[in-house]
Structure 1
Amino acid sequence: MNKAAVVIPFYKNSLNSDEKTSLHQGLDILAGHPIIAIKPHSLDLTFLDPIKFDQVISFDNKYFQDIHGYNQLMLSTEFYRAFLSYEYMLIYQLDAFVFSDQLHYWCDQNYDYIGAPWLYPENNAALHLIYTFKSFLFGTVNWQSNGVPKKKQFYNKVGNGGFSLRRVQKFHDLSIKFANLAAEYLAKQKHEFNEDIFWSIAINRTKKNLLIPKYRTALKFAFETLPERAYKLNHHELPFGCHAWEKELDFWKPHMQKFIK
């Protein structure tokens, strides 16, 4: 079995400058691994010439039309079945950025899922304990308001799916076992029911089905929310990669300039 593949989703026939930056950085740093493009059947990737991928896999157009379609793809058995020859996949959306090639290192840590943790903003020790308890309590019992999960259950949870490592066989099997729960999530088209919330929180709510690291460990893998706080918590060290960097340019630009050729 192959160790890991880098999976890059494409859904349109052009890229903006930020997406080009993400793509070229990923291709450069992760060149030692199989890089697979996924796309809708109708999309022709020749606009990316002369870039070549190790493999291009096409799925139904419906999966690439909007966020709901993408959630459907990431919760489907069909998607993970296509990658069963790999132990892991690294999802690398085109708002991700990678700083070094740590892919095999993270595969060797033996987690089932890793993504950037959703940090809470407070840094006070007492508040840390309070928010940790509330995150556990609200997440365990799935407290909701007007049918939407309470925000507190996401605090310090791991993590975002846009730059994430997934153990393929485990995700494939769980997508079958929890198909009904996934259908419930897909029926509620709010961001609190996105696919990464499903894999990060819902799947482990009553029983640990996925081995996911604590948020401090996950910070070494990736940052997304509150990157200044993440950088401080990570002892002023950059992670393997990051997600949604273009939303936090004041923080990321000085760091990224060292890596962009």
Structure 2
Amino acid sequence: MKELVSVLIPILNPQINPTEEKMLHHCLATLYKYPLIFITFEGADLSIIKEHNEEIDVIYFPKKYFRSRDHLASLFLLEDFYERFNWCDFLLVHELNSWVIKDELYYWCKQGYDYIKAAPVFQSGKQVNDDFLSRVTGLKEDEKRAFGQGYTDNGLYLCQIEHMTKTLKSKKKEAYQYRNNDLIHADSVFWDIEANRFWPYLRKPTAIVRQHFAQNAINFNGAKSLPFALTGISRANIQYAPYFKTLPEAD
């Protein structure tokens, strides 16, 4: 019988900084009920990671995918990547720039969505024509780049493995193009814009539902109804995120 969901933590640079270490510690504590797997490159020194959990499960991929976040995007656009995890129905990809507020992972897996991720946050002055027509006809190159920038440090998504694989098989040409360009956060742009052009391959939630799943930590206004998670967290901005100012120092 398949596992419902596994939590996947990518490690690009094993020398994680204190903010990433904080995210890691919280992830291990909050999502301990689920299979938790690290992905990195062969030969990576995971001694800092093992200080938090000695008995970690690690799956290795070619080092070329861990040179930067944009190289990792190419891995997330490969059929073979998702097929490596065919023992479970869902993957929660949890980069170390995200914080799960409350364990609602089972709930979100049962909501019938194939792909769910926090909405992008656009820089001041950036305009992206994100209406229905633009999603069918396709975004212009500068709009794609603005979309990609909007996903900076937005590293949390839940996906249904079988449907992600089927989408990539149906869009081989498009996925290849996204893997082989210089578009920042190409994976997020592909899954948000390209995956459902002309045909709804993936069941994706409305904007309001996305807000209940995850929100950018800097823009989160402290509403009474907390989302499942916050994302967009980095060493440079965590001190400005209102949510973390309310946490006990020990956390």
Q: Which amino acid aligns with 2:18?
A: S
The one of 247, 250, 254 equivalent to 2:240 is: 250
Q: Cα distance 1:38–1:251, how it changes in 2: closer, same or farther (>3 A)?
A: same
Say whether 1:197 aligns with 2:189.
yes
Say whether 1:94 aligns with 2:102.
no
Q: Deviations over 1:6-50 (max 9, x none)?
A: 000012231111000100010000001110000111213233234
8 A Cα contact 1:95 1:244, kept in partner: yes
The one of 147, 163, 170 equivalent to 2:163 is: 170
Q: Provide the rounded CA distance (Å) in 2 between the counterparts of 1:12 and 1:188.
A: 23
Q: Which amino acid aligns with 1:207?
A: W
Residue equivalent to 2:80 = 78
Q: Cα distance 1:111–1:255, how it changes in 2: closer, same or farther (>3 A)?
A: farther
Give ranges in structure 2 of 5+ residues lacking alignment.
none
Residue equivalent to 2:198 = 206
Return the offset for 1:67.
2.8
| Structure 1 ranges of 4+ moved more than 6 A | none
Q: Deviations over 1:206-244 (max 9, x none)?
A: 21110000010111110127624xx47xx5422111112
Q: Cα distance 1:255–1:83, how it changes in 2: closer, same or farther (>3 A)?
A: farther
Q: Provide the rounded CA distance (Å) in 1 between the counterparts of 2:24 and 2:233.
A: 13
Q: Cα distance 1:258–1:240, how it changes in 2: closer, same or farther (>3 A)?
A: farther
Q: Provide the rounded CA distance (Å) in 1 between the counterparts of 2:79 and 2:240.
A: 39
Residue equivalent to 2:110 = 108
Q: Provide the rounded CA distance (Å) in 2 between the counterparts of 1:256 and 1:245.
A: 15
Q: Provide the rounded CA distance (Å) in 2 between the counterparts of 1:10 and 1:44.
A: 10
Give ranges in structure 1 of 5+ residues lacking alignment.
123-130
**Number of paired residues?**
244
Residue equivalent to 1:46 = 47
- Paired residue secondary structure (1:79): helix
Q: Deviations over 1:81-121 (max 9, x none)?
A: 11011100100001111111111000010100011012579
Return the offset for 1:183.
1.1
Q: Which amino acid aligns with 2:241?
A: F
Q: Deviations over 1:159-208 (max 9, x none)?
A: x86111010111122222212111111232122x6101101110112211
Residue equivalent to 2:143 = 149
Residue equivalent to 1:240 = 228
- Paired residue secondary structure (1:90): strand
Say whether 1:137 aligns with 2:133.
yes
8 A Cα contact 2:50 2:56, kept in partner: no
Q: Deviations over 1:111-160 (max 9, x none)?
A: 000110125799xxxxxxxx99852232222141xx333678x5xx99x8
Structure 1 length-normalised TM: 0.82
Q: Cα distance 1:106–1:95, how it changes in 2: closer, same or farther (>3 A)?
A: same
Q: Provide the rounded CA distance (Å) in 1 between the counterparts of 2:139 and 2:74.
A: 24
Q: Which amino acid aligns with 2:102?
A: S
- Paired residue secondary structure (2:195): helix
Residue equivalent to 1:128 = none
Q: Cα distance 1:14–1:135, how it changes in 2: closer, same or farther (>3 A)?
A: same
Q: Which amino acid aligns with 1:20?
A: E
Q: Which amino acid aligns with 2:143?
A: P
8 A Cα contact 2:101 2:228, kept in partner: yes
Q: Which amino acid aligns with 1:23?
A: L
In proportion to residue count, which structure has more helix? 1
